């Protein structure tokens, strides 16, 4: 039954994509219905007339869109059921499907690790199924056909689910390519914009380069094994050198898809241009599929973990976390900011995975299990609050037609429900207590603080530096999302669209972020629910779990020991409620301190205007001065002068352009090299038929020489 639920999730996602194709096949449906009622014409005449009328009316596309998202929601529901069932059963289910090569059918394996990521995908897909019908209603069918969007969304979800089920390298790569190619078409959905086409091409290029690295990594293992199945790859005996080569190739391939610095530049380009519910799936879910691939390869297929690999993950994770949030702070575009924030959170996950590898290789399996648990828990939390924030960004874009933070403002009064849900997402991603982001980052800190058990002096010096960088990252994340919420929802409206904005009327578009916000709060108060499930995954993959008396209590969370550190979210919640009630009572008891509404104090300037508010660049100016070397900054101030001696300033124009160092250091040289080679190769295309015949003759002679 568990495997049947997993299969059902895949099939339903396929079915949703195929049903979307019917958007442009209305005449075919009419013909089928007429033929069916001609053959079975017993009392069905009135129903045939009604059905024919409905299929020809404008309401049918709306019904079909809802049906597509309903199938997608059922797919997510079955994925949640399958994931929870296999996690609770602690079992491993295997199967074979007669597809693929004649000598290599597709091998299926559904275990705790697959079930955990199935759960992540299922929750996100359920939220998107509620959100999608209202969001896509704004698209014009002639410009952005729903058939393409629905088809590739279904294939995208099916590809991710199949990656988690794959138990051989061949099936894994087929599913991986399905996921990558389908998501490429989703990024390029609004292809009339040249920036969207450029972002989609960059994403596809890097996805295929990463896929090639993954194929080579599997090839290294397969060269020492008897086949391509994961069971055969697990039995391969590799030297340290070959194992390290395979790990580096896998890290390059999966890290490129996950968005680790410096192979991250596709992520802030591709995620913002996709439809918002697709951006939520890509940033909140697809990156976790890449994380799954790295964990499966490193902790499962490779027979032994080396501490040097952990150091590589720790350093890359630290750079990604700190660099990602610094780049996010500088972005005025909301979805681009959220995309860079995903780089930061993936960096945190890589950091803790690196700590898990280091502790495992040095003979501390329980601390390795703690790091592994913290990494997976943060992956789960990130999927929740990043989906929440991207869906919230989609609502803002849907209602204001703006993604520029500097063009919003004052929306808390016009969109109170959206602002409340978005605030929960901001507090979760800022790792504030009572929300899920705090628990996973607290566990990450607890893992790093156990460095004193290591004997290696280099590691004892490196890990505290990474922990300090993690603390700085958390502080910068809080500042970043104070900027986001303050500039979008507080103050005065900065544009006409913001002034006219109102709460979204579609209930599904609010129900989806409400579901995710509720889970963020629930797991922040009762994290033991998720920790218990992840503990089962650690037991299967690492052979070690955290002690039940310290890790799984619903009231106290003490991952190492109660004497060292503990955290009780329910008690913190009770304390916060008591403090809030006392403060409210104190303010209400005295009329002089009672909460009241009044006009904003204008400091004697004679009226506050939107131009007097902080902008995004003004808010981040202190950080830009402190961390100036992190970015390539082009800041220009131009003055329009007037008067006889050009001494009167008529207007001031401020321009700020911030660029990623990765572009000029890595990608631009590669692009220039490819263009140079392409120009040289292009010289052989002369347009002369005699030259082409000469090429063919020379090629024939070369082949005859080689064969003979």
> Rounded to a whole number, what is the distance in angstroms from the first to the last CA of the chain?
59
pLDDT at 490: 87
43 or 540, greater pLDDT: 540
CA 424/CA 329 separation, integer angstroms = 19
- For the ranges 396-405, 509-518, 576-585, 688-697, the one whose mean pLDDT is highest: 509-518
The alpha carbon dihedral of 417, 423, 428, 433 has a sign of: negative
For tokens 């392409």, name the residue.
Answer: 678
| Residue 282 per-residue DSSP state | I
| 216-246 pLDDT tens trace | 999 999 888 888 888 888 888 888 899 899 9
Look at residues 544, 536, 547, 530 and name the one whose alpha carbon lies nearest to residue 111: 536
Q: Is 402 helix (H, G, I), strand (E, B) or coil?
A: coil
pLDDT at 58: 53
622 or 160, greater pLDDT: 160
Helices 59-89/2-20 angle, 10° precision: 160
pLDDT at 548: 57
Beta pairing class for 632-642 and 648-659: antiparallel
The alpha carbon dihedral of 423, 428, 430, 434 has a sign of: positive
Q: Exposure string (b/e) for 138-156, b if CB count within 10 Å is 16 or more?
A: eeeeeebbbbbbbbbbbbb
For all residues of the chain together, what is the average pLDDT?
A: 83
The alpha carbon dihedral of 387, 390, 394, 395 has a sign of: positive
Range in 366-380, 509-523, 693-707 with the lowest mean pLDDT: 693-707
Kindly report the backbone phi and psi dihedral angles of residue 605, in degrees, each rounded to the nearest multiple of 5, phi listed first: -85, -10
Q: How many CB atoms lie within 10 A of CB 632?
A: 14
pLDDT at 293: 93
Locate the domains of the chain by residue range: 305-547
Is the link from the previous residue into 262 a cis peptide, with omega within 30 of 0? yes
Length reported for the chain:
708
pLDDT at 134: 85
Record the tokens describing residue 488, joined without a space: 């979008």
Q: What is the mean pLDDT of residues 433-453?
A: 88
Q: What is the mean pLDDT of residues 86-109?
A: 84
CA 234/CA 250 separation, integer angstroms = 15
540 or 424, greater pLDDT: 424
CA 259/CA 210 separation, integer angstroms = 11
Contacts for 24 with CB less than 8 Å, ≥ 6 apart: 145, 147
Q: Is 108 helix (H, G, I), strand (E, B) or coil?
A: strand
Residue 27, pLDDT > 70, answer no
Q: What is the mean pLDDT of residues 323-350?
A: 90
Helix%, strand%, coil% for the chain, nearest 5: 70, 5, 20
Contacts for 591 with CB less than 8 Å, ≥ 6 apart: none
CA 137/CA 350 separation, integer angstroms = 38
DSSP per-residue codes, 621-633: HHHHHHTGGGSEE
Contact of 184 with 211, CB cutoff 8 Å: no
CA 691/CA 602 separation, integer angstroms = 79
Contact of 126 with 77, CB cutoff 8 Å: yes
Residues facing 109 on adjacent strands: 94
Residue 33, pLDDT > 70, answer no
pLDDT at 190: 82
pLDDT at 44: 47
Q: Where are the alpha helices (DSSP H) in 106-167?
A: 112-136, 146-165
pLDDT at 60: 55
Report the percent of the chain where pLDDT is more than 90. Answer: 28
| 562-589 pLDDT tens trace | 677 778 888 888 888 898 888 777 777 7
Q: Is 95 helix (H, G, I), strand (E, B) or coil?
A: strand
Contacts for 44 with CB less than 8 Å, ≥ 6 apart: 37
Look at residues 315, 246, 264, 253 and name the one whose alpha carbon lies nearest to residue 289: 253
| 293-318 pLDDT tens trace | 999 999 988 878 888 899 999 999 99
* pTM for the full predicted model: 0.87
Cα–Cα distances (Å) from 251 to 309, 316, 653, in that order, read 10, 10, 45
| 590-637 pLDDT tens trace | 666 666 677 777 677 667 777 777 787 888 888 888 887 877 777 777
Record the tokens describing residue 506, joined without a space: 């579609």
pLDDT at 248: 92
CA 168/CA 221 separation, integer angstroms = 12
Residue 206, pLDDT > 70, answer yes
pLDDT at 551: 46
Look at residues 341, 401, 395, 427 and name the one whose alpha carbon lies nearest to residue 513: 395
605 or 689, greater pLDDT: 689
Q: What is the mean pLDDT of residues 489-515?
A: 87
pLDDT band at 84 (very low <50, low <70, confident <90, very high): very high
> 598: burial class by Cβ within 10 Å (0-12, 13-18, 19+)?
exposed
């Amino acid at each position: 039954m568990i495997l049947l639920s997993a299969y059902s999730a895949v099939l339903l996602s396929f079915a949703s994509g195929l049903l979307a194709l019917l958007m442009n096949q209305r005449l075919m449906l009419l013909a089928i219905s007429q033929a069916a009622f001609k053959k079975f014409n017993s009392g069905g005449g009135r129903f045939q007339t009604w059905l024919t009328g409905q299929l020809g009316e404008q309401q049918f596309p709306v019904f079909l869109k809802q049906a597509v998202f309903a199938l997608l929601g059922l797919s997510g529901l079955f994925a949640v059921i399958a994931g929870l069932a296999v996690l609770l059963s602690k079992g491993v289910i295997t199967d074979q499907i007669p597809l693929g090569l004649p000598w290599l059918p597709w091998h299926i394996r559904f275990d705790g690790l697959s079930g955990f990521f199935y759960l992540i995908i299922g929750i996100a897909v359920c939220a998107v199924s509620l959100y999608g019908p209202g969001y896509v209603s704004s698209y014009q069918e002639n410009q952005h056909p729903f058939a393409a969007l629905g088809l590739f969304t279904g294939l995208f979800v099916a590809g991710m689910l199949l990656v988690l089920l794959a138990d051989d390298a061949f099936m894994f790569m087929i599913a991986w390519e399905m996921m990558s190619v389908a998501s490429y078409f989703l990024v390029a959905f609004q292809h009339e914009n040249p920036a969207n086409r450029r972002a989609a091409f960059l994403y596809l290029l890097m996805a295929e380069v990463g896929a090639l690295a993954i194929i080579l990594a599997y090839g290294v293992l397969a060269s020492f094994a008897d086949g391509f199945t994961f069971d055969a790859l697990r039995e391969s005996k590799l030297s340290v050198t070959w194992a390290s080569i395979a790990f580096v190739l896998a890290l390059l391939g999966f890290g490129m898809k996950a968005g680790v610095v410096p192979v991250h530049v596709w992520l802030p380009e591709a995620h913002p241009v996709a439809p918002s519910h697709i951006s939520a799936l890509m940033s909140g879910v697809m990156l976790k599929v890449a994380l799954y691939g790295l964990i499966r390869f490193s902790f499962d297929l490779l027979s032994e973990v080396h501490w040097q690999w952990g150091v590589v993950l720790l350093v890359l994770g630290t750079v990604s976390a700190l660099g990602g949030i610094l780049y996010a702070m500088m972005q005025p575009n909301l979805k681009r900011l959220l995309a860079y924030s995903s780089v930061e959170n993936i960096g945190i996950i890589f950091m803790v995975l690196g700590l898990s590898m280091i502790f495992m290789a040095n003979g501390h399996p329980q601390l390795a299990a703690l790091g592994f648990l913290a990494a997976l828990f943060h992956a789960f939390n990130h999927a929740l609050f990043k989906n929440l924030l991207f869906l919230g960004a989609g609502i803002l874009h849907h209602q204001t037609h703006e993604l520029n933070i500097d063009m919003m403002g004052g929306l808390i009064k016009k969109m109170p429900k959206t602002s409340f849900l978005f605030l929960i997402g901001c507090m979760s991603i800022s790792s504030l207590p009572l929300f899920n982001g705090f628990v996973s980052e607290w566990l990450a800190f607890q893992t790093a603080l156990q460095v004193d058990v290591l004997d290696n002096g280099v590691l004892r010096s490196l890990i505290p530096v990474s922990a300090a960088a993690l603390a700085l990252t958390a502080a910068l994340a809080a500042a970043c999302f104070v900027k986001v919420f303050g500039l979008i929802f507080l103050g005065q409206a900065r544009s006409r669209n913001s002034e006219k904005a109102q709460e979204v009327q579609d209930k599904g578009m609010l129900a989806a972020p409400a579901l995710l916000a509720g889970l963020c709060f629930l797991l922040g108060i009762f994290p033991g629910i998720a920790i218990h499930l992840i503990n089962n995954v650690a037991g299967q993959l690492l052979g070690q779990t955290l002690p039940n008396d310290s890790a799984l209590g619903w009231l106290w969370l003490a991952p190492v020991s109660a004497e060292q550190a503990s955290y009780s979210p329910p008690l913190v919640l009770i304390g916060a409620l008591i403090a809030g009630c006392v403060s409210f009572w104190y303010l209400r008891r005295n009329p002089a301190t009672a909460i009241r509404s009044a006009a904003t104090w204008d400091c004697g300037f004679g009226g506050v205007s939107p131009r007097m508010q902080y902008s995004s660049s003004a808010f981040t100016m202190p950080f830009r001065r402190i961390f100036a070397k992190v970015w390539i900054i082009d800041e220009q101030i131009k003055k329009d002068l007037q008067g006889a001696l050009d001494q009167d300033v008529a207007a001031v124009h401020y321009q700020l352009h911030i660029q990623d160092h990765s572009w000029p250091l890595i990608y631009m040289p590669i692009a220039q090299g490819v263009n140079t080679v392409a120009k040289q190769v292009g010289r052989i295309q002369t347009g002369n038929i005699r030259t082409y015949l000469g090429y063919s003759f020379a090629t024939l002679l070369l082949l005859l020489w080689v064969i003979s």
